[in-house]
Amino acid sequence: MSLSVTIRNIFLVGILSISCLAAYAQNGSKGMRLNRNVLIKKLTEADSSLVFKQDTDISLLPNFVATDANGSRAQLIGKPDELAIVKWTYVFTADEKVNLAELQKLAWFANTLGDQEGLDWFFAQLAELGKDYKKPLLEIKMFDSKSKGEISYSPKEKVLTITFTPW
């Protein structure tokens, strides 16, 4: 099946059993006020193939990266209680089942970091992508939770990325 059919199929999956993120806030912090260890725990509970390892710091901030069994990459940049960047990247494959599973993880990720508003935003962008998956996509949204979300899709590389940063 084509990528557009796969994208449309995610809407037929039904209500995702999405666990809410219990990451606690730290008042007065400059980051997204998410605790890195709590977020890592939630992400690895959702996908046991993720193993986070500290990578080279970025702009003097700790950088934790994990890649799952299907090639999705999660990246958490920032201090333990002040994450500056939280990103999930997926490269579409020819395997529709893998793509569907990874889109479900991306939906969970959008909900975890943007609540219901994030999930609705993700599905709206997925619908746009489903209309023409050969067209690049870049959409930015400001969330009430004081975070900014960015969804981008590159048709050349077939890469879908969701990034959350503070605003």
Q: How many residues does the chain have?
A: 167
Distances (CA, A) of 10 to 36, 60, 89, 93, 136: 29, 38, 17, 15, 20
Using CB atoms within 10 A of its CB, is residue 96 exposed (0-12), middle (13-18) or buried (19+)?
A: middle
Per-residue pLDDT for the chain (167 aa), expressed as one digit of tens each?
565 555 555 543 433 333 333 333 333 445 566 889 999 998 998 888 899 999 999 999 999 999 998 989 999 999 999 999 999 999 999 999 999 999 999 999 999 898 899 999 999 999 999 999 999 999 999 987 678 999 999 999 999 999 999 98
Residue 47 has a pLDDT of: 87
Plot region of 29 (φ>0 → left; ψ -120 to 50 → alpha; else → beta): beta
Domain boundaries, the chain: 3-12+21-166
Does the model's pTM come out above 0.85?
Answer: no
